[in-house]
Amino acid sequence: MHYALLIYEDEAVYGDEPDSPALQAIIGQHMAFAGSLGAARVGGAGLAGTTSATTVRTTGGVKTVHDGPYAETKEQLGGFYLIEAPDLDSALAIARRVPLAANGAVEVRPLLEVPT
């Protein structure tokens, strides 16, 4: 099965600068982690901060564009992995190893299997 691992953290811990030591450190950890996944890693990316986010909202068929992320929350979606795993326990075992700077959460979601 394919799973998305969605990484939620308080982006403030990484500061605003792209070369902040905290950001560089976590990127290093993610590169090592991604390498350790081998064939289980199907894809993924880190996301730029929510100050760069723009949201297209549809309400009653009317589409409007808004500045900011979908939800203003204490923790934000900061990146994701797409992985292949035989079952949920294997996916959870990988999710436990996802690097986090401090507090945070990794949401594990199976991908919809679309018949080809």
Partner 1 sequence: MAKFRDLDIAEEAAAEAYARAARSWRDGTLPARPDAWLYRVAERVALDMLGRRRTAARLAPEPPPPVPSAEDLALDDDRLIPDERLRLIFVCCHPAVAVEARAALTLRLVCGLTTAEIASAFLLPEPTLAQRLVRAKRKIAQAGVPFEIPGPAAWPERLDAVLSTLEVAYAKAHEDAAGASPHAGYATEILGLTRVLAELLPAEAEVLSLAALVRYAEARRPARLDADGASVPLAEQDPALWRRDLITAAEGLLIRAAALAPSGPRALQAAIQAAWCARASLAQPAPWRRVLRLYDALLSLRDDPVVRLNRAVALAEVAGPEAAWAELALLDAAALARFIPYHAVRAELLRRLDRRTEAGDAYQAALDLAPPLAERRWLARQMAAL
Exposed, middle or buried: residue 104 (CB in 10 Å: 0-12, 13-18, 19+)?
A: middle
CB of 41 to partner 1, least distance (A): 18
CB of 95 to partner 1, least distance (A): 11
One residue of 35, 61, 86, 115 binding partner 1 per CB under 8 A: 86
DSSP bridge partners of 41: 83
One residue of 5, 7, 23, 91 binding partner 1 per CB under 8 A: 91
Report yes or no: 23 and 101 within 8 Å, Cβ to Cβ. Answer: no
2 to 21, contacts with partner 1 by CB under 8 A? 3
How many Å is the maximal CA-CA distance in the chain?
A: 45
Tokens 């075992």 appear where? 93
Instruction: Tell me which stretch binds partner 1 (CB under 8 A): 6-14, 27-35, 49-57, 82-90.
Output: 82-90
List contacts with partner 1 (CB under 8 A): 1, 3, 85-92, 108, 110
